[in-house]
């Protein structure tokens, strides 16, 4: 471990902490979100033909 | 036809992250970081992530969801739905083309990972370190059939494992989104992280005091990756390398993210899920990827050797040709370590290759009414001629050309087109509302301006740097220019780089490699002529061999440009063929009143 300079340690741990916190925060938000998808009753997505009319409308 | 959906958000994030996490995370990133200023490289890298990677990731998610709501699950339809002009669907066809071309050689590399993983767990790399340390390289030659200066490179074993790999991919794709791709991602991604964590910890525990084979501390390698060289921040080439690494690591500009996101509902979030995907990729790349390759290699090979082996900015040679020998130092754990390393590369590769198949399949299903299993089979059929060329000819022909044009240049072109479409044609105001729709995370307004101005300029800079790249690279050339200006001398002569777009078109790399091969041959000839220990018969025999080799070099390198031009015509042909399919699909839509 003495092979690493103080600057290298600082840089490495700083970047690791930044990346780990951002990744952890995103996963925490995602996993604690009350919103889910995959429920059939929520699936009001248009079918192919109705989606085409939606495209014409927009 | 039943509408396909993702089963869970975590599954979708893992599938998207699996798409992004590929071989580059573990083989290219550490080499790039070490080459471009160590820890300081992470500054432009993170800046590029915020200005290029994350915005493009969000744009592709938003575009995918928007197109999916209008019944499009592949880039041609998604682009057309946002751009209105009929030409956008032909631009979007690049998204299908890239997936098909990249899959043809990426699956081949994936099959090598599978072969090395199986060979490792079977103990075939055991006890090679002292007896035959070059065995992994020999195994690679057996697997690929590659021999120097020969066009044909056929290996029955390589073909067999390649076929197995393609079949596995087609089978998974035929099972559908939730039961196929998502399931593999849910299993593969945690395993990949676990395998990488075990290897990283074991690697850092190498102690030269207790391990007689270790020459240096692995922390010396870690120091090489992380010690910041702030002077490199003044070098534009380092910023370009960081932007390139961010761009390629996130698998943007391929059409696969659009496709995956197109299966979302209108009010599903894309901001949080997109950001989670991008950060998961960064976790795998920076924390895991940066802690395996270089520290372990440094411990057993010394830093100087590692620096020489990663000077090109790639860790491929180290990862495949050297690592099995290094793992052999780990005693009983060696077969498991080899399996973990190549297993994690295989998981990284398969989750990415599946993402290349899905857009093509979605297009066939959507536009031609193919069933899922038939579309998977059709994808395999479309892949077959390209894969055969890749697997039977030297990598200097189809593989390298496909990787350069489809896997590098066209990704930047496609991303530039999509950001222009999203921010300027569709309109940034509309695009911003589309992005924020259903968002579960606040997006700073600054990203509005980043997407509209900074990202396109950044991409344009990357593209221009590729097109006009001077030899040996931008960093060295600009340094020479600064020196010349400082000394009041004339500017250095401009020569096209081997891997610049113009250099590639002019076959600069072929001329240079031919000259290098001939020089090596001449050097060997010289050595034989001046070797007084050889008898006249032995000398004549060796000179005869070298003369034959010289003829082979001349023949091979003079024919290579012809083959490369054929590769390029094949790529153009594939693109035109896909454009014809898109044209037919939209003609069909018009007849059915759906266009």
Q: What is the per-residue pLDDT across B347-384, written as a single tens digit (0 to 9) for each? A: 999 999 999 999 999 999 999 999 999 999 999 999 99
**Distance between first and last Cα of chain A:** 61
Give chain B positions within 8 Å (CB) of A58: 70
Tell me which residues of chain A have a C-beta less than 8 Å from any C-beta of chain B.
Answer: 1-5, 7-9, 11-12, 15-16, 18-20, 22-23, 26-27, 29-31, 33, 35-38, 42-49, 51-52, 54-55, 58
**The pLDDT value given to residue B2:** 60
**Is pLDDT at A50 greater than 80 in this prediction?**
no
Instruction: Please tell me the distance in Å from B226's CA to the nearest CA on chain A.
Output: 5
Flag if A30 and B81 touch (Cβ within 8 Å): no
Flag if B276 and A30 touch (Cβ within 8 Å): yes
- Residue A38: pLDDT band (50, 70, 90) is low
- Residue A37: pLDDT band (50, 70, 90) is low
What number is the average pLDDT over the span B246-258?
A: 92
Average pLDDT of chain B is 93
Give chain A positions within 8 Å (CB) of B223: 3-5, 8
**The pLDDT value given to residue A54:** 38
Q: What ipTM did this prediction achieve?
A: 0.89
Q: Does B583 contact A at CB distance below 8 Å? A: no
**Is pLDDT at A49 greater than 50 in this prediction?**
no
Give chain B positions within 8 Å (CB) of A51: 69-71
Q: CA A26, CA B441: separation in Å to the nearest integer? A: 9
What number is the average pLDDT over the span B231-248?
A: 83
**The pLDDT value given to residue B207:** 93
Cβ–Cβ < 8 Å for B574, B568: no
**Is pLDDT at B556 greater than 60 in this prediction?**
yes
Flag if A54 and B366 touch (Cβ within 8 Å): no
**Is pLDDT at A51 greater than 50 in this prediction?**
no
Residue B470 has phi, psi (to 5 degrees) of: -90, 165
CB-nearest partner of A30 from B13, B265, B286? B13
Give chain B positions within 8 Å (CB) of A31: 10
**The pLDDT value given to residue A41:** 43
Q: Does B6 contact A at CB distance below 8 Å? A: yes
**Is pLDDT at A57 greater than 50 in this prediction?**
no
**The pLDDT value given to residue B593:** 86
Give chain B positions within 8 Å (CB) of A37: 5-6, 8-9, 264-265, 268
Q: What is the per-residue pLDDT across B439-479, written as a single tens digit (0 to 9) for each? A: 999 999 999 999 999 999 999 998 999 899 998 888 888 88
Query: Who wins on pLDDT, A35 or B328?
Result: B328
Q: CA B341, CA B306: separation in Å to the nearest integer? A: 18
Q: Does B70 contact A at CB distance below 8 Å? A: yes
What number is the average pLDDT over the span B475-499?
A: 89
Q: Which pair of tokens denotes residue B157?
A: 């074993």
**The pLDDT value given to residue B384:** 95
Enclosing H/E stretch for B86: none
* Residue B116: C-alpha distances to residues B37, B320, B593 (Å): 32, 8, 52
Q: What is the per-residue pLDDT across B377-426, written as a single tens digit (0 to 9) for each? A: 999 999 999 999 999 999 999 999 999 999 989 999 999 999 999 999 99
Give chain B positions within 8 Å (CB) of A44: 265
**The pLDDT value given to residue A42:** 46
CB-nearest partner of A5 from B223, B264, B594? B223
- Residue B237: pLDDT band (50, 70, 90) is confident
Q: Does B430 contact A at CB distance below 8 Å? A: no
Sign, CA dihedral B401-B403-B405-B409, equals negative
Query: What's B496's DSSP letter?
Result: B
- Give the list of residues 6+ apart from residue B332 with CB closer than 8 angstroms, or none: none
Flag if A12 and B440 touch (Cβ within 8 Å): no
**The pLDDT value given to residue A3:** 85
């Amino acid at each position: 471990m003495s092979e690493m300079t103080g600057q290298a340690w600082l840089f490495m741990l700083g970047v690791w902490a930044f990346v780990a916190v951002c990744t952890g925060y995103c996963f925490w938000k995602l996993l604690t979100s009350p919103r889910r998808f995959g429920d059939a009753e929520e699936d009001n997505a248009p079918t192919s033909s109705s989606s085409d009319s939606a495209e014409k409308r927009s | 036809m039943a509408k396909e959906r993702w089963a869970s958000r975590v599954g979708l994030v893992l599938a998207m992250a699996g798409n992004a996490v590929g071989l580059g995370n573990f083989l290219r990133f550490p080499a790039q970081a070490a080459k471009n200023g160590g820890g300081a490289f992470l500054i432009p890298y993170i800046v590029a992530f915020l200005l290029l990677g994350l915005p493009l990731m969000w744009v592709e998610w938003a575009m995918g969801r928007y197109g999916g709501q209008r019944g499009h699950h592949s880039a041609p339809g998604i682009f057309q739905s946002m751009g209105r002009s009929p030409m956008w669907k032909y631009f979007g066809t690049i998204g299908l083309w890239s997936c098909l071309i990249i899959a043809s050689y990426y699956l081949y590399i994936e099959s090598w990972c599978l072969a090395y993983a199986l060979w490792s767990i079977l103990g075939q790399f055991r006890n090679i370190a002292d007896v035959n340390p070059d065995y992994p390289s020999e195994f690679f030659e057996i697997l690929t059939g590659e021999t120097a200066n020969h066009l044909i490179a056929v290996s029955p074993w390589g073909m067999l494992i390649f076929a197995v790999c393609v079949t596995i991919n087609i089978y998974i794709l035929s099972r559908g989104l939730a039961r196929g791709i998502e399931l593999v991602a849910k299993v593969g991604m945690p395993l990949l992280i676990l395998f990488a964590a075990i290897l990283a910890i074991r690697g850092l525990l190498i102690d030269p005091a207790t391990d007689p084979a270790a020459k240096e501390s692995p922390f010396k390698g870690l120091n090489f990756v992380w010690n910041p060289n702030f002077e490199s921040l003044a070098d534009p080439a380092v910023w370009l390398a960081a932007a390139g690494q961010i761009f390629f690591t996130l698998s943007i500009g391929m059409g696969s993210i659009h496709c995956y996101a197109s299966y979302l509902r209108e009010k599903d979030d894309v901001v949080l899920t997109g950001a989670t995907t991008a950060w998961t990729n960064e976790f795998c790349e920076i924390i895991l990827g940066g802690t395996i390759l270089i520290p372990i290699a440094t411990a057993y090979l010394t830093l100087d050797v590692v620096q020489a082996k990663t000077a090109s900015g790639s860790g491929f040679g180290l990862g495949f040709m050297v690592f099995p020998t290094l793992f052999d130092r780990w005693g009983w754990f060696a077969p498991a370590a080899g399996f973990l390393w190549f297993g994690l590369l295989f998981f990284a590769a398969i989750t990415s290759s599946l993402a290349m198949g899905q857009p093509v399949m979605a297009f066939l299903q959507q536009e031609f009414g193919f069933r899922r299993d038939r579309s998977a089979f059709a994808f395999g059929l479309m892949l077959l001629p390209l894969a055969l060329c890749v697997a039977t000819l030297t990598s200097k022909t189809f593989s390298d050309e496909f990787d350069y044009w489809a896997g590098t240049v066209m990704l930047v072109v496609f991303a530039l087109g999509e950001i222009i479409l999203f921010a300027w044609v569709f309109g940034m105001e509309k695009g911003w509302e589309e992005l924020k729709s259903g968002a579960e995370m606040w997006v700073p307004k600054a990203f509005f301006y980043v997407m509209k101005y900074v990202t396109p300029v950044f991409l344009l800079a990357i593209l221009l740097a590729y097109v006009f790249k001077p030899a040996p690279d931008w960093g060295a050339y600009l340094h020479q220019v600064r020196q010349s200006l400082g000394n009041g001398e004339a500017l250095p002569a401009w020569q096209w780089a081997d891997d610049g777009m113009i250099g590639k078109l002019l076959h600069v790399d072929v001329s240079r490699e031919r000259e290098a091969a001939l020089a090596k041959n001449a050097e060997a000839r010289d050595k034989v002529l001046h070797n007084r220990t050889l008898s006249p018969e032995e000398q004549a025999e060796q000179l005869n061999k070298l003369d034959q080799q010289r003829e082979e070099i001349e023949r091979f390198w003079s024919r290579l440009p012809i083959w490369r031009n054929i590769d390029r015509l094949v790529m153009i042909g594939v693109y035109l063929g896909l454009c014809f399919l898109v044209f037919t699909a939209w003609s069909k839509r018009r007849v059915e009143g759906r266009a």
